[in-house]
Structure 1
Amino acid sequence: MDKIFLEGMAFFARHGVFPAERETGQRFLIDVALYLDLSLAGRADDLELTINYLDVYHKVEAVVCGRSFQLLEALAEAVATAILESFPVRQVGVRVRKPGAPLPGYFETVGVEILRGKSCPAK
């Protein structure tokens, strides 16, 4: 299966368990991987036969910046659901990183990574 990916999308949003995180907000980094067959687009060199990266970016931005989640897991699920509902993909991988998580000590980032797919219709 082929893959389109957008990595390191950065958004300022208000997610977190603690009220202060939701009040002041912070930076979140989002990576998505869209799994689908890209052979037709590759042969035809036609944007209409693939997924426009700009559309994916705007969909992710709308979810990340549109409402507040307590858990990174819930944010990742919402991004995955929006992509699966909006684009002709078989699976989507979503990685959410929170470099400014309120933890003691030094760390680069914390996060979650999920992989979701469309259900096969019953026969």
Structure 2
Amino acid sequence: MTPDLISLTGLRVRGNHGVFDFERADGQDFVVDVALETDTRAAATSDRLTDTIDYGALAQQLAAVIGGEPVNLLETLAARLADSCLADARVHAATVTVHKPQAPIPLAFADVAVTVRRDRVVPGRDQP
């Protein structure tokens, strides 16, 4: 069965991530896109917010990670965001893209981003 997707794109949050001291001191905006693989049938049947992923709460949860403890690499930040998404047992997999529009690159560029996809580990199924 193909999973349903719940997406949140363009979430802009200020954080202090990066390898350079000025990035940590001054901070910068990060833009995040997430796609959550889940089953929305219960919510479609009940029409209740409690039966689905609340994207407002998801945005707050992701913002807390972005605004939280600084990391050096976008890869680390993206992995932390994906782990945060997978904390909800209804999420089967999460694809997270972190954009760094103000990356310290001395040339004109359109985007710098890292995308990770993480699946839920199911004990007994995913372990030898």
TM-score exceeds 0.5: yes
- TM-score norm. by structure 1 comes to 0.95
Larger relative helix fraction: 1
1:112 aligns to 2:114 (yes or no)? yes
Structure 1: which 4+ aligned runs deviate by more than 3 Å? none
Deviation at 1:97, TM superposition (A): 0.2
Q: Which moved more, 1:57-66 or 1:39-48?
A: 39-48
User: Is the 1:51–1:87 contact (alpha carbons within 8 Å) kept by the matching residues of 2?
Assistant: no
Distance in structure 2 (CA, Å) of the matches to 1:91 and 1:9: 19
Query: What's the CA shift string for 1:3-53, capped at 9, x where partnerless?
Result: 001000001111101111111111100111110111121122111111111
SS where residue 66 of structure 2 aligns? helix
1:48 aligns to 2:54 (yes or no)? no
Q: Please tell me the root mean square deviation across aligned C-alpha atoms, in Å.
A: 1.1
**Equivalent of 1:25 in 27, 34, 47:** 27
Distance in structure 2 (CA, Å) of the matches to 1:6 and 1:17: 27
What does residue 38 of structure 2 align with? 36
Q: Which moved more, 1:43-52 or 1:17-26?
A: 43-52
Percent identity among equivalent residues?
Answer: 38
Any stretches of 5+ residues in structure 1 without a counterpart? Answer: none
Equivalent AA in structure 1 for residue 58 of structure 2:
V
- TM-score norm. by structure 2 comes to 0.91
Distance in structure 1 (CA, Å) of the matches to 2:67 and 2:82: 15
Count of residue pairs brought into register by the alignment: 123
| Superposed counterparts of 1:55-70, under 5 Å | 55-70=57-72
SS where residue 86 of structure 1 aligns? coil
Any stretches of 5+ residues in structure 2 without a counterpart? Answer: none
